[in-house]
Structure formats: structure tokens, C-alpha cells
Structure 1
Amino acid sequence: MTAQPRQTAQPISREERATRAKTAFGHLESPQDALVLFDDQFIFYYCGFAFFPIERPVALVITREGERILFVPRLEREHAQQVSEAERVADYPEFPGQRHPLRQLADLLTELGLEKASIGVDHDGYPPVMGYDGPALSEALPGATVSRVSRALDHQMALKSPAEVELIRESARWGAYAHHLLQDYTRVGENETEVEARATKEATAAMIAALGDTYRGQNRWMSGAVALYRGQIGVHSALPHAMTTGATFQHGDTLVTGAGAAVWGYISELERTMFVGEASGEQQRFFQHMLNLQDIAFEAFKPGLTCAHVDEAVRAYYEREQLWDHWRHHVGHSLGQRIHESPFLDIGDSRPLEPGMVLSVEPGLYVPGLGGFRHSDTILITASGMELLTDYPRDLDSLTLPG
């Protein structure tokens, strides 16, 4: 019987979020008088307001003093007042309304004395979502100087605090639990949709029972403790981003899985390659190459070296072993609140690895007609190298299912 994890992590404190807002300006390349952020993930990061973006704009204003003003549609006012940590909530009636919400946001910024200020933004206005249309912030507030600063804020988000790391660890524990159930229930003749649903439902129920009544997922990309195949079954496993087809498991299938859990806004990534019945010689060969690629990546993690260095080390193996026909993507990416964050373990990303970064490590091989071969693990960059946050067997014997 699969053992359940023990709960250890607590949600991000109000103090930590307030500190993030006050110190955000120190990450910027040029001085700004205020920040205006529209991305729901930045808004959650700085003030704890989790919501689903729709056509009605939501924005967070952060002053240099660290005051946070949350700008929301009227229908979100009570919600924002109850759950956000902003010092003030301002609202507008509706979108598009008689006066456009972006013009009302400009009125708010003018009220704050920012009509001629230097303002850092993630987007120059609310991005197109579900039919939204409207002016750029620079158009609505023409006296201000509006500059994109999202790359600098992404860097702040990439450096995880100890509290964030503990939430990701907790996510990894429950992701592994869900994956054990997925593996247990996968058998010849079973249906992928039913197996995924059973494993996810049982793991989520166990997680909620363990974490208690205060638990909240608060993540847009994941709900509960999840384990799935996403359609990467048999020959379709050779498609890195396949979609579910409702397949029935058959003897000889190559399977590529995915698992994780949403824990107070944070997630992890666990993926494994498995086989239904004893793997063929070709399946075993590519499985071993895949393990070698991931091991090379693990060994390449050193603070101060670049993200590109990791991808270059892995690419050298593809070159040496003549595997380029089976290459499809870079080594991995940062993650935490988002399922994909920056920086990226890519030959084109020269940013240095720093202690506190959390990344996926998932170099893959994709062989049309045979299958896909990809393990993904979540790692933490430390002062001396890396720490594995996901804990699940990687070897062939452990990942071979009854045929």
C-alpha cells in the first residue's frame, strides 16, 4: 500500500509578501516611482490575491513605500477584501462600461500623484484575455513614462525563499503519492481517463484530509494532487505535448506520465517513462540514453554557471551519440507558482544559476513509431550544486508494469 506523505509546510506569510513588494524595486535595472502589474501570477506573488483572469481587468499598484492598491471590477471587491493582503482595494463598475477601466486606473494613478511618474509594468495595459480590448496604460496616462520590468520581476520570483521551497517540497510529496497510485492502477485493458481520474481523486482526497480545513490549492494550472498521461501512451508518447485520446493500455506500450500537486499556490513537476510489460531492446536502449541525459544535466548544475551551460552539456551527448533526430526541446525551466517560469535551461539563456532557483530537469528522446522517453524531476540550486526535490524511482525495473 502506498504510504501517504506527512504535512509540513505552511502558506506564505503576510510578512513575506509585504517584503516582496517593498524589495521589488531593488531588482529593477532603472529607478521607478511605482509598479503597475496586470499578470495574475505577479498579483498573487505580491499580495496573495488568487483569481482567474477574464475580460475584466485586474491590476496591482505598488508604490515605492510598499503600499499595495488592488484595482478590481466591482464583482471582485468583496473577494479581494477578504483574501488579498493589499493595503487598499479600489474598484470600477464593469467592463467595458461607460468609462473604460484603464481610464479609471489612470484616474487612480493620478489620485496617487503618479500622473507624471516613472512606472514599471509587466504589460503596457491589460493583455487580451477573453475578448478584452482597451487602451495601453501609456495612452491612458500620457504624462507618465511607462517601462517594461517583467524580466527583473521574473528574476525576483525565480529566487525562492525557504518558505516557498517547503511548499514545493510538499507539492512534490503529494505528486509522488498520486503517481504511485497512477502506476498501481495502470494495467492492460484499463482506460487512461479512468485510471487518471481514480488516482487523482484518491490522492487529492488524501491530501485534503492530511493538510486540513485551511488548505487551499490557489493555482491556475493544477487542482489537487494530480497524476496523468496527457495522451502520451504507446506511439503517441513520441509527441512531447500530446493530448488525451482515451486510450486503452496495451502490452508493449511506452508511457510518459506527469504528476504534481497544488499547495498554497505552488507546484512541482514529476514525470516518468514506464512500460507495460518487459521493455524491448529498443525501448531499453532509448530509456538508458534518457537516464544518461538527465544525469549529465544533474552534474552540470553549479551556482555561477549559466542556464545555457546545462543545455550545452546535454546537447554534447546528443551529438556524440547521434541522437539529434530524437531531440525536441531544451533541458528544462524554472517553476514554482507557474508551471513554466524563467529562466530556461536553454542554449540561448545566458542567465547564471543562483541558489534558491527551482527548475525542472527533463531532457527527452522521441522516436516516432516507438515512443517518447522523458523523466522530469524538480531540483533546487544550492550553494554547492543541486538538491533533488522529487523522490521517485528512476530505474527500469521499478517502472516496468505487469504486461
Structure 2
Amino acid sequence: MLLAIPKSEIIERQSKFHSSMADRKIDCAILFSVTDIFYLTGFHFHPTERPIGFFIDPNQKTHLFVPALEHEHAEEFANVDFVHSYPEYPGLRHPMEYFKDALVKADFTGKVVGYDAIGYGSSMGYRGPIVSDFLDAEFVSIKGLIEEMRFVKSSTEVELIKESCRWGNLAHRLLQKYSKPGLSEIEITSKASTEATMAMIETLGKDYKPHGNTAFALFRGQVGEMSAFPHAVTQNIVLKKGDTLVTGAAADVWGYHSELERTMFVQEVSKEQEKYFQYMYEAQETAFKAIKPGVPCSSVEQEVQKYFKEAGVQHLVQHHTGHAIGLLGHEAPFFDLGDQTIMQPGMVFTVEPGIYVRGLGGFRHSDTVLVTENGMEMLTYYPRDLASMVCY
């Protein structure tokens, strides 16, 4: 079982990135995006106030710039030609001074330099100059270039996402099992997530690296009337009979995400709950039928919005139908009226049209799907029908 992206695929990504640079007549490039650095190097790190950057020089050599505390870590795990480091931030000499030295030595002066951000950014107290303040070069933004490379997943990436789906499925089964009146959402989610994680690590063994979250299932505060807020936060609510529940479950495998969400009910379902559940269910079915290669992402949203309008519930819709998923929980492109990106085989999306009724609850399933040559393949496989969504 493959539980990581092999070095050969990472090197292939670097080569593809360099070819894209050459097409744009860019000599060299600087990246600060954590996700894109991981995508191109396999090096997973926690960004803090200490700058970390990746750069490709005019001779196609790859470099990683890290604080000293990450130097050995980077040499062990990063697929790059050179690792550079600096003592500390802010330090007696600012890290960007060391970064300047590395760029000048790598022959960046006077070149056309692509960048995703013109300087390092952090909400953890970092302050420092932008690269154009200290490097004499021509700068060209390539923001979004690697994100677009990530649109279409390789077969290896798809397998990692499928593995994520398997363990999200287990976590959700446990969540449903433990969803009883009188128990708090934190108690239920903690128990389900811990049990699923223990099963996951015992099954996959020492080769499993989450690079994110292990198996989990949660309510995120969407319990009872609070489920009518699409992105509520955990409230420590105690479940009661008849509550509408909107759930989520997943597990990260080498940084790759999946998404499984369900609308469930505690022990009983009212006629009104059933009515809105059915609207949501049919909207998701409508989306599934609209997903196919060669058409824009917006076409999926158009079909879903058409269904909602005909059903007379368009006023209860608060968000678009879905988004791509991979190394990030939310990635571009989106099933949105404003996204004209053409769907291609290998793209992975969530499909999650929802409706929200104040005083009653929210109604949203989310499934992770793969665009295929002829349509789509469902990667998540938890039951979706109403009868299966009642927690006894």
C-alpha cells in the first residue's frame, strides 16, 4: 500500500514547474506558499514567524531556505539540491539578509524572477522587507501557477484521497453510533475520533504519515437549531431527541484530504425535516449528474440553482455547490456560477449543496468525487438515504 508521494513524482513536479517557467520566459522563481513548497519538495513544516522559502535558480537547481532549527529536518526529508539556513528570527541579522546572500550567490541578480508572494508573510509577529527591496531583478507574479498544477490529481494522489475516504467513513460510523440524546457533541466526537484514529494507525502501521489530521468526525456546532449556520463552531451542545445534525468526517493521508458530511437526526424525523432533507438530497443528485469533463464548473452550479429555484427553496441557499480538494480542504476550482474552469479527468471535488432553515436546522451532505473520462466516480461511500441517517 502506497502511503506517500514517491520522490520520482516530486521530481517530475519540479520539472513541470520549470517548464511552465520557461514558457513564461522566467529565469528563476521564489515561493513562500507552505502548500506549494510541500507539493514541490515533500517537506512538511509548520510556518511560524521564522521565514521559510523555496527557490529554483537559473541552472534549474532547487533550494530550500529555512531557520537553523529546521535545517537537519529539511536535509532529511526535502527533495531539493541545497538547503540554506539562518540562525533565528529576528536575530542580530535579519533572515532576509541571509536570503539575499543565497539569491545573489544563486545568480538571481538581473534575472526575470517569478514569485508567488513578494515577501514572506506571517500572522505570528513576522516583520521584514519584501524581496524587491533588496534584489536587483525583474519580478513577475506567478501566483496560482502551482495551484493550477494541483488541479488534476495523479493516480497516486487519488489513491491517497481514497485512503482518506476509508478512514473518514469509519470515523463517521462511530460518530453516528455514539450520537445519543443526553451526550455532548465534544464527548461524542472525541470518542469517535480517538477510536477511528487508533484503528487507522494500527492498520496502516509505521509508514502512515498524516501531515495533517488523523481520523476525525465532528459536528462543528451544527446541532439542532445551530445546524442552520453553515460554518458554526463547536458549542459543546448536548444532543436531544429530534435534533438535526450536520456532521463531518475525514482523515489526512500524507497531507491529502477528503470530505464526508451528512445530515442526520437524533432518533426521530419530523415531516418538515424530511421535506428539506429531500430537497437537499435531490440537489446533490442533480449535481452528480452534471459533473463531466469538458464543461465548466459553473454548469454544475447552474443545474443545482435551477433545481432549487424550481423547488421554491432558493432563498434558503447560502453557498455554492462545492470545491476542489486535495492538499487543502478547500482548493480551486469551485462549483460556482463565477468559475469557468473546464472540468478535466483527475480533478477531485466535494459536492455539497445545502439549504438552511432558521429554527429547524441545516441540510447538507458532502461527498468527495473524482472526475473521470465519462462523468464522475464517487470516492466517499457512506449511506445517503434518509432511513440510514437516523441515529438510534
Determine whether 1:47 maps to 2:37: no
C-alpha contact 1:335 1:358 (8 A) present in aligned 2: yes
Provide the alpha-carbon RMSD of the alignment.
1.3
2:7 maps to which residue?
Answer: 14
For residues 105 and 308 of structure 2, what CA distance do their matches in structure 1 show?
58
- Aligned residue in 1 for 2:145: 152
Instruction: Provide the rounded CA distance (Å) in 2 between the counterparts of 1:358 and 1:247.
Output: 33
**Which residue of 61, 64, 68 maps to 1:67?**
61
Structure 1 partner of 2:176:
183
Amino acid of the structure 1 residue aligned with 2:288:
F
2:185 aligned to 183, 189, 192, which one? 192
Distance of 2:237 and 2:20 partners within structure 1: 48
- Superposition deviation, residue 98 in structure 1: 2.8
CA distance in 1 between counterparts of 2:312 and 2:129 reads 51
2:198 pairs with 1:208:
no
Q: Which residue type is aligned with residue 235 of structure 2?
A: T
| Residues 32-41 or 99-108, more deviating | 99-108
**What is the distance in 2 between the residues matched to 1:128 and 1:84?**
22
- Corresponding residue SS for 1:245: coil
Is the 2:301–2:337 contact (alpha carbons within 8 Å) kept by the matching residues of 1?
yes
Within 5 Å, which residues of 2 pair with 1:3-402?
8-27=1-20, 30-63=24-57, 66-141=60-135, 143-219=136-212, 223-402=213-392
Moved more, 67-76 or 161-170: 67-76
Which string of whole-angstrom CA distances, capped at 9 and with x for unpartnered residues, describes residues 5-32 of structure 1? xxx4331001100110111133457221
What runs of 5+ residues in structure 1 fail to find an aligned partner?
1-7
Q: Secondary structure at the match of 1:272?
A: strand
Local SS of the residue matching 2:206:
coil
Q: Quick one: which amino acid aligns to residue 15 of structure 1?
A: S
Q: Across the two proteins, how many residue pairs are aligned to each other?
A: 391
Native 8 Å contact 1:138 1:146 kept in 2 = yes
Identity %: 46
1:27 and 1:238 map into 2 onto residues whose CA distance is 44
**Residue type at the aligned position of 1:238:** A
Query: Is the contact between residue 200 and residue 225 of structure 1 (CA under 8 Å) also seen in structure 2?
Result: yes
Alpha-carbon distance between aligned partners in 1 of 2:217 and 2:58, rounded to the nearest angstrom: 42
Residue type matched to 2:16 in 1? T
Q: 1:229 to 1:213 in 2, by over 3 A?
A: same
- For the 8 Å contact 1:25–1:64, the answer to whether it is kept is no
Kindly tell me: are residues 106 and 210 of structure 1, through their superposed partners in 2, closer, same or farther at Cα, counting changes over 3 Å?
A: same
1:32-51 Cα distance to aligned partner (Å, 9 max, x none): 11221111111111101111
| Alpha-carbon separation, structure 1, partners of 2:20 and 2:187 | 47
Amino acid corresponding to residue 169 of structure 2 in structure 1: A
* Unaligned residue ranges in structure 2 (runs of 5+): none
3-state SS of paired residue (1:360) = strand
User: How far did residue 65 of structure 1 move?
Assistant: 5.3
Displacement after TM superposition at 1:100 (Å): 2.2
**Structure 2: distance between partners of 1:193 and 1:81:** 40
Q: Which amino acid aligns with 2:174?
A: L
8 Å contact 1:27–1:156 — kept in the other structure?
no
Q: Deviations over 1:240-273 (max 9, x none)?
A: 1101111111011000000000111111000000
**Equivalent residue letter for 2:39:** Y
Distance 1:64 1:159 in 2: 27
1:181·1:199 contact (CA, 8 Å) conserved in 2? yes
Distance 2:355 2:202 in 1: 38
C-alpha distance in 2 between matches for 1:150 and 1:298: 31
Q: Are 1:53 and 1:129, in contact at CA under 8 Å, matched by a contact in 2?
A: no
CA distance in 2, matches of 1:321, 1:102: 57
Cα distance in 1 for partners of 2:284, 2:245 equals 18
Query: For the residues of structure 1 that align with 2:18 and 2:304, how far apart are their CA atoms?
Result: 36
Is this contact kept in 2: 1:25–1:31, CA < 8 A?
A: no
Contact 1:260 1:267 in 2 (8 A): yes
CA contact (8 A) 2:57 2:108 kept: no
**8 Å Cα contact 1:22-1:65 kept in structure 2:** no
- Note closer, same or farther for the CA distance 1:155–1:311 as it changes in structure 2 (3 Å cut): same
* CA distance in structure 2 between the partners assigned to 1:298 and 1:15 by the alignment: 34
- For 1:110 and 1:65, locate their aligned partners in 2 and report how far apart those are by CA, in whole Å: 13
Note the alpha carbon deviations across 1:65-120, whole angstroms, 9 max, x for none: 54321100111111111222222110011112233222321221111111111122
What TM-score, normalized to structure 2?
Answer: 0.97
What amino acid sits opposite 1:212 in the alignment? G
Match of 1:365, SS?
strand
Going from structure 1 to structure 2, the CA distance change for 1:181 and 1:52 (only over 3 Å counts) comes to same
The answer (yes or no) to whether the contact 2:57–2:107 under 8 Å persists in 1 is: no
Q: CA deviation at 1:140?
A: 2.2
